[in-house]
Structure 1
Amino acid sequence: MRATASTNLFAALPAPGRDRLLDLAREVFFPAGTRIFEEGDQADRFWVIHTGSVILDTRVPGNPAAPVEILSPGDLLGCSWLFPPYTWHLGAEAQSDVRAHQFDATTVRALSRADLEFGEALARRVAQIIAHRMQSARMRLLDLYGPRGGSPVP
């Protein structure tokens, strides 16, 4: 249950846009155990993790939140800020002390509209990250609930 380097936000952004984005960054710190955001709340910012790890989780009625993914340094924390209605689809908690760059979603969306090349690259990269995470979740579900011993499913 771990993200890989292929989820790095900055890797596919054009240098000028990446530099403008980094100019907007604000350094933040979350102590271990801090709830960073809750599923269903307004998604008005996002982070790129420098140090530490974050657990993405989902609500399970009558049970504790179920872990979905563990994010580590270089990973994007938060994807829901880019797509209306701008609400978190998952929750997030610092698994260890976390240092990260924080970005204001409204400002970054405005930058994306002003610089279409950057905006397209950013949207494409976030979509790739989402697709990667969905594929990882699918594989975990197959491991948990798929057929055992190579027997075909009836």
Structure 2
Amino acid sequence: MTSTTTLSAALSADHRARLMSLAREVSFDVGTRLFEEGRRADRFWIIKTGTVALDLHVPGRRAAAIESLGRGELVGWSWHYPPHVWHLGAEAASPVRAYEFDAETVRTLCAQDPEFGRAVACWVGQVVAHRLHSARVRLLDLYAPYGSGGR
């Protein structure tokens, strides 16, 4: 993940404080599924410690690991965009401590404060763009003929 997509780099101190005021601390054991592709996205997390692996369902094969996320990174972006359904899956790859947020509460705050809402939307949009690129590269690595993914 690039430094511009971590919470500390993406939001101003004021906006970070507003978001973090809504957080509750949670923890996950190794192997815990945080969410499954296709299910309702009603929350998201920012990693405090540990690692979360993102994966993508590939019909007829094992799920493809797309990316590994660590400290300060956003886990889950599907909560921000209708229809609020997960586009990937996520699993704790190590013991994880994280800040958990209720998606509806954050979306309400974004609607009430347009400046905050724009900042969150830009942050989440940067994360989506990064994840899309990571998924493309990983899937080319796994399934494309040798040498077809380079540009």
TM-score w.r.t. structure 2 length?
0.89
2:13 maps to 15
Unaligned runs of 5+ in 2: none
Q: For residue 148 of structure 1, what is the amino acid of its counterpart?
A: G
Aligned partner letter, 1:83: Y
1:18 shift after superposition: 1.6
3-state SS, counterpart of residue 82 of structure 2:
coil
Radius of gyration: which is bigger? 1
Report the counterpart of residue 98 of structure 2 in structure 1. Answer: 100
- CA deviation digits over 1:84-124, x for unaligned, max 9? 00000111000000000000000000000111101001001
Q: CA RMSD in A?
A: 1.9
What count of residue pairs does the alignment treat as equivalent? Answer: 148
Alignment of 1:1-150 (within 5 A): 3-144=1-142, 145=144, 148=147
CA 1:117–1:60 in structure 2 vs 1: closer, same or farther (change >3 Å)?
same
**1:127 CA displacement:** 0.3
Asked whether the equivalents of residues 37 and 88 of structure 2 are also in contact (C-alpha less than 8 Å), the reply is yes
Q: Percent identity?
A: 57
Divergent runs of 4+, >6 A: none
Residue segments in structure 1 that go unaligned for 5+ positions in a row:
none
Kept in 2, the 8 Å contact 1:8–1:75? The answer is yes
TM-score by structure 1 length? Answer: 0.87
CA drift of 1:48 comes to: 0.3
